[in-house]
Amino acid sequence: MQLLCGFVFQEEITMVSLYKRRGLISALTVALMVTSMNINVLASATVHYENH
């Protein structure tokens, strides 16, 4: 019984670490997208400002 509990606990830890890793990757992806969008907006704003 103790072995089974340990196995289930180990599985839960693995799932949690996978979930955390996936969450971290998606958070990094979103941060990267937002950063690139901000850079694009800044670049177009700068070009627009220089044209006037």
Tokens 């990267």, residue located? 32
pLDDT tens readout for residues 11-42: 777 777 877 888 888 999 999 999 999 998 88
pLDDT tens readout for residues 4-18: 666 667 777 777 787
d(CA 48, CA 9): 58
